[in-house]
Structure 1
Amino acid sequence: MVKAMLGLIKSATGTALLKGKPLTQQLSQVAYVPQRSQIDWDYPITVWNVAMMGCTLQTGLFRRPSRQSRELVKAALQRVGMYENRDHSLSNLSGGQQQRVFLARALAQEAELLILDEPFNGVDQKTESIMFDIFRELKAQSKILFVISHDLSETLDNYDQLLLLNKRVIAQGARHEVMTKDNLLAAYDAPVWSIAP
């Protein structure tokens, strides 16, 4: 779904819009944090260079980063608690630290829409707490967050709107409207137990 939204694969039907315009026409306003499984963690790159990738659209691929870009990256890494690790190799970090680095990359981009694909998989409590604090800050800045998750836990309370999918839209709205017994049965084709009210 995310790849279709971003125009990386052809969509069977429909178009993703951001503020009334096709998303594919304003990709500079979209920051993407991929699933951990989609990243080559052995690639020899530093924390600083990963975060600096968020400024590539501003500076250009082969140009030296501007002072403004360096300040954006520094602030983003500080915000996620990874500035002290800026010279470390990405492959030497824990899963939570790696995820925070990719969030810093998205923050450095200063996009209007952040798409996060399974951002809480394999992260520790500290990282989860930092991420939700940042999500609240971004909401206060009127940024749009699109978080893909299979987690049916209490973390769903942190989102304004939910979209329940299984090859089609099952339900959309507030948690109490979406996370009903009937909707979950339709989505998972089996009863789902232990869902908090």
Structure 2
Amino acid sequence: MLQVQELSVSYRGVAALEQINYQVPAGELVGVVGPNGAGKSTMVKAMLGLIRAVAGKAMFQGKVLGQQLGRVAYVPQRSHIDWDYPITVWNVAMMARTVQTGLFRRTSVQSQQTVKAALERVGMYHLRDRQIGELSGGQQQRVFIARALAKEADLLIFDEPFTGVDRKTEDIIFDIFQELKAQAKTLLVINHDLGESLNYYDRILLLNKRLIAMGAKTDVITTQNLQEAYGSTFSLAAA
């Protein structure tokens, strides 16, 4: 189980997150929504120990999350990735196996098979020798999904994986999410869309610096909650 307890973050004295509390059991897919600047990415980075929290912590199966990152696959926003870096599709996916093989050791046959299977699952194995920067946005995202799969993690966190992707890629990703759920993996997905894609999630976490609501879509995506998160003039019809 993933547990976030009293997590708070501030930048130069200004609160970015205020006492976030929730838990996610294994085998559950949770969508995180909220306006720009709500602290969604900040929350994830603080959970992973990538930025400093002023209070609180994230626990995974009873241990501090930041101390067991080998069990976590994290896919950041596309805007945070250097797409000009000269690296092939194969090597991007193979990065997931560094923990298993060591930084300077030859990758095992098992690791190579795992990476191959991951790239095949997202339909990118045939482009394994292509430079990552030569791919379309959807193809690039599929490669990073493959890297997450190749890590064989227990907790998977995705920061806006559907931004700039085509419908085929979106369908592939949601299919993979369902497969991971069936394997009792825990998934946390930051999603900017308030439309039909929310139907795929077991629960929705609505955030704007503090936790507005968490639960089933019908309980969270209400006019009152959305106006509390997005502003009193917000209209779901215009989202």
TM range (shorter): over 0.9
Contact 1:96/1:122 (<8 A) preserved: yes
Aligned to 2:92: 50
Distance 2:172 2:142 in 1: 8
2:135 is equivalent to residue 127 of structure 1: no
Alignment of 1:173-192 (within 5 A): 173-189=215-231, 190-192=233-235
2:48 is equivalent to residue 6 of structure 1: yes
The amino acid of 1:194's aligned partner reads A
Out of 122, 130, 134, which is 1:88 matched to? 130
Distance 1:169 1:120 in 2: 23
Aligned to 2:237: 194
Contact 1:172/1:178 (<8 A) preserved: yes
Shift, 1:137, TM fit: 0.3
More helix by share: 1
Gaps of 5+ in 2: 1-42
The amino acid of 2:165's aligned partner reads V
Aligned to 1:155: 197
Aligned to 1:74: 116
The number of residues matched between the two structures is: 196
Gaps of 5+ in 1: none
Aligned to 2:187: 145
Out of 118, 138, 148, which is 1:106 matched to? 148
- Percent identical pairs in the alignment equals 67
More strand by share: 2
1:152-181, CA deviations, whole angstroms, 9 ceiling, x for partnerless residues? Answer: 011001010111000000000110111010
Distance 1:63 1:179 in 2: 49
| TM-score, normalising length: structure 1 | 0.97
- Secondary structure class of the residue paired with 2:57: coil
Higher alpha-carbon deviation: 56-65 or 112-121: 56-65
2:58 is equivalent to residue 16 of structure 1: yes
Distance 1:13 1:163 in 2: 20
1:60-82, CA deviations, whole angstroms, 9 ceiling, x for partnerless residues? Answer: 11111111100000000000000
Distance 2:225 2:148 in 1: 32
Aligned-residue CA RMSD (Å): 1.2
1:122-169, CA deviations, whole angstroms, 9 ceiling, x for partnerless residues? Answer: 000000010011000000000011001111011001010111000000
2:115 is equivalent to residue 63 of structure 1: no
Shift, 1:12, TM fit: 2.0
Aligned to 1:171: 213
- Secondary structure class of the residue paired with 1:194: helix
Contact 1:152/1:195 (<8 A) preserved: no
Shift, 1:195, TM fit: 7.8
- Secondary structure class of the residue paired with 1:142: coil
Shift, 1:17, TM fit: 1.2
Shift, 1:185, TM fit: 0.3
- Secondary structure class of the residue paired with 1:15: strand
- Secondary structure class of the residue paired with 1:147: strand
Aligned to 1:31: 73
Shift, 1:92, TM fit: 0.4
| TM-score, normalising length: structure 2 | 0.80
Shift, 1:42, TM fit: 0.4
- Secondary structure class of the residue paired with 1:45: coil
